[in-house]
């Protein structure tokens, strides 16, 4: 499931952003196998991971120490994940939380997000997916009310719904515009195919075909300039990234 | 051990339905005998009373004709001779109702000398007799009264006789019924025992075992027949599951075998970074394929077991189709396929469903349609109403599905021979079937009529009228 992130030597390891001060992650998960795998994976990416096995221990840890992001399993002994998150939110702990659950339904996801979770991932998941989502939570997108987005040579006018590259207008379909806006709000960040499907198209299933790749391919052909490096780069085994110098 | 099992067997005997039925029948027999006795006795006693009255009145009318002297003589004789068996009381009283001659010494208090028969209780006779008597008093010549009486001893005798005969007849009848019941129950029990043994063998894993088929065409036999048919069906389902298991194993094994072979080669051959990267990249592709199969299987299981309808709401088919076209248009374009939405004149159609799941259905069907349609073809999505049913059709100009394979394609891992070369988990349509079953909708596979020159397939999803949301509701 995991793979070395330095497959392509021309790219610096994209999934390990080398946090300035080690990012602290609280993992509350009772399945020791999954926990061990997650801890090893995240630590190899330079995160500092604190692992708790029960809901009660996780809650007291979450209330008493500072973490940058939490990963909480839904089904926990003593105190279930959703109650834990609700309690954290009641005590004004606003650390972003990613909820983990067994393969399950949409209503589960909805209740997970309602309880105060920020993202939701069903088991089994790829480590790249988890890492990308954690990074997305750590680097909250720029959702301020600005009307212009800039990424490298790209400029997006959110009111006029226009995009220019180095001043040259690019004609985009509405769906391409939505996709590019999502990417431009998250520059230099790995975005998995599932994240794109969920957030841009609002779909929660894994299509049989490489749908997202086709959409990205179409967008690339419109925004890239020949002879210059591609703005949207494929991250092998993980997803895509809008690389801005 | 033998005694123990014998006792158990005897206990079982008393618990069999046949034996319980026997007990009920025996109780009914006793009840009916009692009723027979009661009605027979009451009928006989009415008859006996009437006979007594006739006898008394006839005797009285005969004795009335005698002269006073002769009558007195007769009464005296009667008090002692054999006729007392017929008439138990014969007495003469004077006009003041004082005793003259006979076997009754006091005038009974309740007796009126009106020539009619009266029932006189023992107290009224002044303690002379202890039984109830039927009496008649008539005036006889010489200003005297003649009193004749007959006791109810005949009726008592009759009752004794009938009770006795009933007891004598009921005991052997009941015993016979019980014996029959025990024998019948024993037979039923031994058949049930055979069935139990057969079921035990089935539970131990011998799925080919069936319940014994007897010659009788009774309810037990019909039940055994139903159970056997159920076992046939279960065995067939188990075989199917075993086949699916084999298919899963095969479909998972193929990419894994490739991974293994490739890694093996990489270990022994050229170690350049480029070559190794290539190996790893292919390996990941193959592993992804295995994961896709596992994920799809889990998802189907989840949908089939979950029966969750919590996410149900009103879904606008037009917007559903618009979204799916938005999602799949680029991929259709790359293959040079025209993907379009064709609507009829119907007003917007709304169905009751889970939007996320329905999108998944459409995505799978459109995905398939594009996959199996050659370049330059067309895929049309049509929405329309038909007989109160909402129809959602995905028609293509692709290779089509032969009529003989149309049922099988929704089975797990079914891949038409024509399409073996096209990648896919082979689970898309079973996922579609599972989701549609949750919606009580049906999937029909028809022949396309878009281009008659091409034998394309049309996937026709039919939502029943109960799943269609009427405007305004």
Cβ contact B212:B198 at 8 Å: yes
The boundaries of the domain holding residue A203 are 148-242
CA–CA min distance A30, chain B (Å):
22
CB pairs under 8 A between A and B: 69
- Domain total of chain A: 2
Which residues in chain B have Cβ-Cβ distances shorter than 8 Å to A208? 292, 364, 367, 424-425, 428
Helix axes A127-138, A32-44, angle to 10 degrees: 60
Residue A234 β-bridge partners: A240
Same domain, A170 and A220: yes
Name the nearest CA neighbour of B124 among B143, B149, B101: B149
How does the average pLDDT of chain A come out, rounded? 83
Same domain, A55 and A128: yes
**pLDDT tens per residue, range A183-242:** 999 999 999 998 999 889 888 777 767 889 999 999 999 998 877 888 999 987 788 999
Q: Final residue of a domain: which of A82, A112, A138?
A: A138
Q: For residue A10, is it within any domain? A: no
CB atoms under 10 Å from CB of B121, counted, come to 12
Same domain, A50 and A111: yes
Same domain, A134 and A210: no
For B334, the closest of A7, A205, A214 (CB atoms) is A214
Judged by DSSP in three states, B311 sits in coil
Q: Is the pLDDT of residue B80 over 90?
A: no
Helix residue ranges, H only, A91-173: 106-114, 127-138
B272 near A CB under 8 A:
no
Residue A52 β-bridge partners: A28
What is the CATH topology of the domain spanning B1-208? Answer: Beta-Lactamase (3.30.450)
Q: Final residue of a domain: which of A138, A169, A190?
A: A138
Which residues in chain A have Cβ-Cβ distances shorter than 8 Å to B302? 103-105
| Cβ contact, residue pair B356, A237, below 8 Å | no
Mutate to test the interface with A, among B292, B363, B373 (most CBs of A within 10 A): B363
Name the nearest CA neighbour of A233 among A10, A50, A71: A10
Start-to-end CA distance of chain B, whole Å, equals 72
Q: Residue A232 belongs to a domain with what CATH number?
A: 1.10.10.10
Same domain, A104 and A181: no
Q: What's the pLDDT at B455?
A: 62
Which distant-in-sequence residues (6+ apart) come within 8 Å of B398 by Cβ?
Answer: B369, B372, B373, B374, B377, B454, B456, B457
Same domain, A116 and A160: no
Which distant-in-sequence residues (6+ apart) come within 8 Å of B314 by Cβ?
Answer: B350, B351, B352, B469
Rounded to whole angstroms, the Cα distance separating A231 from B212 reads 76
For B363, the closest of A104, A106, A205 (CB atoms) is A205
Q: How far is CA A205 from the centre of its chain?
A: 17
**A positions 108-147 inside 8 Å of B (CB):** 124
Which distant-in-sequence residues (6+ apart) come within 8 Å of A240 by Cβ?
Answer: A183, A190, A191, A193, A196, A212, A216, A232, A233, A234
What is the CATH topology of the domain spanning B219-298? Answer: Helix Hairpins (1.10.287)
Same domain, A131 and A228: no
Q: For residue A6, is it within any domain? A: no
Same domain, A157 and A94: no
Rounded to whole angstroms, the Cα distance separating B228 from B336 reads 56
Nearest CA in chain A to B285: A237
B281 near A CB under 8 A:
yes
Q: How far is CA B258 from the centre of its chain?
A: 55
Q: For residue A216, is it within any domain? A: yes
Q: For residue A14, is it within any domain? A: no
Q: For residue A84, is it within any domain? A: yes
Rounded to whole angstroms, the Cα distance separating B145 from B137 reads 6
Same domain, A153 and A132: no
Task: Provide the whole-model pTM.
Answer: 0.61
Q: What is the ipTM of this complex?
A: 0.76
pLDDT more than 70, % of chain B: 84
Same domain, A62 and A113: yes
**pLDDT tens per residue, range A45-65:** 889 999 999 999 999 999 999
Tokens matching residue B113:
């000398």
Same domain, A54 and A116: yes
Same domain, A114 and A210: no
Q: Is the peptide bond before A124 cis (omega within 30 degrees of 0)?
A: yes
For A103, the closest of B298, B367, B425 (CB atoms) is B298
Q: Final residue of a domain: which of A138, A160, A190?
A: A138
Name the nearest CA neighbour of B401 among B460, B342, B359: B460
Tokens matching residue A191:
């975005």
**pLDDT tens per residue, range B11-39:** 677 777 777 888 888 888 888 888 888 88
Domain B307-469, CATH:
3.30.565.10
How does the average pLDDT of chain B come out, rounded? 80
B331 near A CB under 8 A:
yes
Q: For residue A2, is it within any domain? A: no
A10 near B CB under 8 A:
no
Q: Residue A45 belongs to a domain with what CATH number?
A: 3.40.50.2300
CA–CA min distance B10, chain A (Å):
52
Q: For residue A19, is it within any domain? A: no
- Give domain limits for chain B: 1-208, 219-298, 307-469
A102 near B CB under 8 A:
no
């Amino acid at each position: 499931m995991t793979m070395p992130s330095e497959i392509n030597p021309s790219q610096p390891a994209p999934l390990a952003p080398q946090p300035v001060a080690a990012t602290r992650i609280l993992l509350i998960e009772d399945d020791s196998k999954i926990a061990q795998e997650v801890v090893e994976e995240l630590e190899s990416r330079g995160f500092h991971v604190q692992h708790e096995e029960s809901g009660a221990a996780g809650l007291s840890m979450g209330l008493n120490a500072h973490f940058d992001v939490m990963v909480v399993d839904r089904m926990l002994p003593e105190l279930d994940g959703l109650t834990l998150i609700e309690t954290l939110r009641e005590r004004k702990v606003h650390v972003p939380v990613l909820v983990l659950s067994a393969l399950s339904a949409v209503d589960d996801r909805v209740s997970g997000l309602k309880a105060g979770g920020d993202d939701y991932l069903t088991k089994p998941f790829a480590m790249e997916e988890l890492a990308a989502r954690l990074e997305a939570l750590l680097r909250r997108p720029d959702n301020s009310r600005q009307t212009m987005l800039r990424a490298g040579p790209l400029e997006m006018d959110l009111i006029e719904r226009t995009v220019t590259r180095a001043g040259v207008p690019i004609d985009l379909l509405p769906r391409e515009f939505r996709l590019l806006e999502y990417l431009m709000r998250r520059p230099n960040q790995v975005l998995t195919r599932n994240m794109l499907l969920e957030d841009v198209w609002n779909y929660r299933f894994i299509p049989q075909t490489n749908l997202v790749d086709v959409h990205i391919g179409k967008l690339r052909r419109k925004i890239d300039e020949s002879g210059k490096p591609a703005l949207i780069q494929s991250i092998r085994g993980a997803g895509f990234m809008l690389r801005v110098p | 051990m033998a005694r123990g099992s014998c006792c158990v067997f005897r206990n079982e005997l008393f618990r069999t339905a046949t034996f319980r039925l026997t007990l009920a029948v025996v109780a009914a027999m006793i009840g009916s005998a009692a009723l027979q006795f009661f009605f027979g006795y009451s009928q006989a006693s009415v008859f006996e009373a009437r006979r007594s009255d006739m006898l008394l009145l006839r005797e009285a009318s005969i004795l009335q004709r005698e002269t006073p002297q002769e009558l007195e003589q007769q009464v005296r004789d009667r008090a002692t001779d054999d006729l007392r068996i017929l008439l138990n009381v014969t007495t003469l009283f004077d006009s003041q109702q004082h005793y003259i001659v006979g076997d009754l010494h006091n005038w009974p208090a309740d007796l009126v000398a009106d020539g009619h028969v009266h029932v006189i209780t023992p107290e009224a006779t002044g303690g002379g007799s202890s039984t109830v008597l039927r009496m008649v008093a008539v005036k006889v010549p010489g200003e005297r009264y003649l009193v004749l009486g007959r006791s109810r001893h005949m009726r008592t005798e009759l009752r004794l006789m009938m009770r006795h005969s009933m007891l004598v007849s009921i005991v052997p009848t009941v015993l016979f019924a019980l014996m029959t019941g025990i024998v019948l129950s024993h037979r039923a029990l031994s058949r049930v025992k055979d069935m139990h043994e057969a079921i035990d063998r089935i539970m131990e894993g011998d799925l080919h075992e069936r319940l014994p088929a007897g010659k009788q065409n009774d309810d037990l036999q019909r039940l055994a027949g139903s159970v056997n048919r159920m076992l046939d069906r279960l065995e067939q389902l188990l075989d199917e599951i075993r086949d699916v298991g084999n298919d899963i194993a095969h479909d998972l094994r193929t990419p894994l075998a490739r991974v293994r072979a490739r890694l093996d080669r990489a270990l022994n051959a050229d170690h350049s970074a480029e070559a190794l990267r290539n190996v790893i990249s292919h390996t990941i592709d193959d592993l992804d394929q295995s994961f896709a199969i596992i994920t799809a299987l889990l998802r189907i299981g989840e949908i089939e077991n979950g029966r969750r309808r919590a996410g149900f709401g009103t879904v606008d088919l037009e917007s559903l189709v618009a979204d799916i076209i938005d999602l799949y248009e680029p991929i259709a374009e790359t293959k040079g396929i025209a993907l379009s939405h064709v609507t009829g004149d119907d007003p917007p159609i709304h169905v009751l469903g889970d939007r996320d799941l329905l999108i998944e259905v459409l995505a799978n069907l459109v995905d398939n349609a594009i996959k199996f349609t050659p370049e330059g073809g067309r895929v049309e999505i049509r929405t329309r109403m038909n007989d109160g049913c909402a129809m959602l059709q995905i028609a293509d100009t692709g290779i089509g599905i032969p009529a003989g394979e149309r049922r099988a394609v929704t089975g797990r891992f079914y891949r038409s021979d024509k399409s073996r070369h096209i990648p896919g988990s082979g689970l898309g349509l079973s996922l579609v079937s599972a989701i549609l079953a949750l919606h009580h909708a049906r999937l029909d596979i028809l022949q396309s009529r878009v281009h008659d020159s091409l034998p394309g397939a049309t996937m026709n999803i039919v939502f029943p009228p109960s799943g269609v949301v009427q405007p305004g509701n």
